[in-house]
Amino acid sequence: MPSTAATTAFRIAGLPAASFHHLFRLSDADLAAHHAVRYTVDAKPGYPDRVELRDAEVGESVLLVNYARLPEAGPYRSSHAIFVIEGASQTFDAVGVVPEVLRPRMLSVRAFADDGLMIDADLIDGRELEGLIERFLSNPEVTYLHVHYARRGCFACRIDRADA
């Protein structure tokens, strides 16, 4: 069950499921043409989904795709590999709730301004994420946060103020 935080007004959302529907059920050869690879999950945890924000279950099919987390031109423009559960349809979107997929992992959290420039960053144990969210979002210059899985550097999710 996801944890809740009583004092921080934040919203965490997964990536839109519709962004990946065109890849679901393609042949492996067709996936390769999209620079994507299909895997059958063989361990949990190990394949964190970016749409439903949960660890894929053993036996589920996931797609490894490149995702442009900051596609805008600028010094922090970036893309990286992410996993998406094949067939994911329910995008995680909740206020004041940290999905369990973030809890057991070391996270890199990066705070960005409106212009896409990074203002602050820190590493944190996922079980302590709310405190860092509170600290970063208390800075009025911070517009949003990006969370990455620290070990491999993959984008995990975006965090915004709940009233944004």
Q: Where are the domains of the chain?
A: 7-161
Q: With cut-offs at 50, 70 and 90, classify the pLDDT of residue 51.
A: very high
Structure tokens at 92: 């995680």
Q: With cut-offs at 50, 70 and 90, classify the pLDDT of residue 68.
A: confident
Of the candidates 80, 82, 99, the residue with the CA atom closest to the CA atom of residue 91: 99
Q: What is the pLDDT of residue 5?
A: 43
pTM: 0.90
Residue 127 to residue 106: CA distance in whole angstroms: 9
